Amino acid sequence: MDQPTAPVPPPGCPAHHTGGRVPLYGPEFAADPQAYYTYLRHFGPTAPVELAPGVEATLVTDYAAALQLLQDSGSFRKDARRWRDFNEGRIAPDSPVAPVLAYRPNCMFSDGAEHLRLRQAVTDSMARVDSRRVSQSTEQVSDYLISQFGSRGSVDLLGDYAKQLPLFVFNEIFGCPADIGDRVVYGINGMFDGVNAEQAMGVLFEAVGQLVALKRARPGDDVTSWLMEHPARLTDEEMVHQLALLLVGGNEPLRNLIGNTLHRLLTHDAYAHQGGLIDEAIDDTLWENPPMQNLAPHYPASDMEFAGQKLQAGDLVLVSFAAANTGPALTAARQAGSNRAHLAWSAGPHACPSKDPARQITVTAIENLLNKLPDVELAVPEASLVWRPGPFNRGLTALPARFTPVAAAPRPAARARTEAPARPEPAQQSGRRAERGVWSQFLNWLTR
Ligand code: HEM
């Protein structure tokens, strides 16, 4: 493939100053990633990028090349222990991208038979989650969250709703009792808020370790217990890492799918607040503003040529789902009526195994919100909204909205599942008290 010479970076793009590598971080990138993708396409199907200061990668922006890579697990491997720059000490241990990219023993970072074994445990266990339970749990959590801000007439739909809802629903389907669930919420929020992220990750892993111990002793009707019972016979260490992947890897994109879709509904007049259009708004979001914009880290197994580009074994290669989705080839496919051909869930053997429950949670969360607050609208000019920086996820920092105040939701006890997670238990093993008790407060509300 011919590479056009000297493409011109978008105005303000710091690519002017980084030896041609385009930085996928910072406020300029967050403000308008699509301008960056348009620019990156000038390099051809792949482009040289920087994910954080000093972290170099090749980004695949072309749809056909992305599919080829995602489906060729012989040439491209997921095991991050192959990452040459990391192995040769060129990645600072405290690099902001290390928590996402560094190896962990879970299905995301494994290949071949090991991947099949770990992934099968996930898909089989998630398949056991009854869709009515997902809807009911989402609706209960949604009612609870609305009850916390409904009488105010104003809300940050990101911080007070989209961010909290998946955490609570996950706590329910993973069977977290109060104390453990509080620390899971604290740990995940802390990791993504970037304040003391390492301490937050410690809290999360400790809580997940305790959840594993609890379910080994007392299995329940939940994903954690089903993972444990699976014929893959996961060790305790594998259980902890698989659970952490599901909790962290599920919550962040789910919060952003809810947030980005709400953003779309509130900023595009084409969507009236009617049930049928929520699905359409979700699809449009997955095409044009996907929650995971760049990920799928892969490493060539050997030196190779790919899409006209020379790659070395152990190079970090990522796929831009957002760029592939909006490139000319896929835009044509979309116009031809192929509404689900986008790559927002990735593709190939590592594609998201939970897109159905994720979509169901999103639909229910938005439907219930719009039913309860039918006149909800953006409370600030759209141009003042701020998107979080970083190369991987695409999400807002806040989504301020206003609406006609509503009375608190009725007490849900009649609808509460009989097997709802146990009421608050002491923070036995660690002796550490949960810093926040939002999950406990929800359980109290649910069963009071
Ligand atoms: C119920 C919520 C979710 C759960 C439990 C979940 C879980 C997972 C897991 C376990 C993987 C790794 C699969 C493997 O390596 O074999 C994965 C991959 C992925 N998920 Fe999800 N996910 C959820 C929601 C979402 C959402 C809302 C999106 C965005 C639309 C998303 C997009 C992706 C993508 C793009 C990948 C591939 C990542 C990569 O290869 O680096 N997921 N998901």
pLDDT value at residue 420: 46
pLDDT value at residue 16: 58
Sign, Cα dihedral of 329, 330, 331, 332:
positive
Residue having the nearest C-alpha atom to atom 39 of ligand 1: 296
pLDDT value at residue 423: 42
Residue having the nearest C-alpha atom to atom 38 of ligand 1: 296
Q: What would the two tokens of residue 353 be?
A: 């195994």
Question: What is the distance between the alpha carbons of residues 263 and 282, in angstroms, rounded to a whole number?
Answer: 11
Tell me the sheet residues that pair with 436: none
Question: What is the distance between the alpha carbons of residues 396 and 387, in angstroms, rounded to a whole number?
Answer: 4
CB 324 within 8 A of CB 330: yes
Q: DSSP E strands: which ranges in 180-308?
A: 294-300, 304-306
Q: How far, in Å, is the centroid of ligand 1 from the Cα of 204?
A: 19
Q: What would the two tokens of residue 4 be?
A: 């056009």
Beta-strand relationship, 76-77 and 377-378:
unpaired
Residue having the nearest C-alpha atom to atom 31 of ligand 1: 345
- pTM value? 0.91
CB 409 within 8 A of CB 144: yes
Question: What is the distance between the alpha carbons of residues 181 and 184, in angstroms, rounded to a whole number?
Answer: 5
Select from 248, 346, 354, 359 the residue to mutate for testing ligand 1; criterion: most ligand atoms less than 8 Å from CB: 354
Sign, Cα dihedral of 283, 287, 289, 291:
positive
144, 289, 321, 87 alpha-carbon torsion, rounded to 10° = -70
Q: How far, in Å, is the centroid of ligand 1 from the Cα of 254?
A: 9
Question: What is the distance between the alpha carbons of residues 162 and 362, in angstroms, rounded to a whole number?
Answer: 9
pLDDT value at residue 18: 57
> What three-state secondary structure class fits 85?
helix
User: Which single residue is written with the structure tokens 């056991």?
Assistant: 128
pLDDT value at residue 407: 84
Question: What is the distance between the alpha carbons of residues 187 and 181, in angstroms, rounded to a whole number?
Answer: 10
> What three-state secondary structure class fits 292?
strand
Residues in the chain predicted with pLDDT less than 50, given as ranges, are: 1-6, 413-435
CB 383 within 8 A of CB 405: no
Question: What is the distance between the alpha carbons of residues 315 and 58, in angstroms, rounded to a whole number?
Answer: 8
Select from 115, 346, 352 the residue to mutate for testing ligand 1; criterion: most ligand atoms less than 8 Å from CB: 352
> What three-state secondary structure class fits 62?
coil
Question: What is the distance between the alpha carbons of residues 342 and 320, in angstroms, rounded to a whole number?
Answer: 11
pLDDT value at residue 432: 43
Question: What is the distance between the alpha carbons of residues 24 and 21, in angstroms, rounded to a whole number?
Answer: 9
> What three-state secondary structure class fits 352?
coil
> How many residues in the chain?
448
Q: 421: Cβ–Cβ under 8 A, 6 or more apart, which residues?
A: 171, 172, 175, 176, 177, 178, 181, 443
Question: What is the distance between the alpha carbons of residues 82 and 317, in angstroms, rounded to a whole number?
Answer: 12
Domains, the chain, with CATH or none: 106-296+340-447 (1.10.630.10)
Q: List ligand 1's pocket residues with C-beta within 6 A.
A: 107-108, 119, 122, 245-246, 249-250, 253-254, 257, 286, 290-292, 295-296, 321, 344-346, 350, 352-354, 357-358
Nearest ligand 1 atom, CA 242: 10
Residue having the nearest C-alpha atom to atom 4 of ligand 1: 250
CB 440 within 8 A of CB 182: yes
pLDDT value at residue 330: 79
Q: How far, in Å, is the centroid of ligand 1 from the Cα of 309?
A: 28
Residue having the nearest C-alpha atom to atom 3 of ligand 1: 250
Residue 106: φ, ψ to 5°: -140, 180
pLDDT value at residue 188: 86
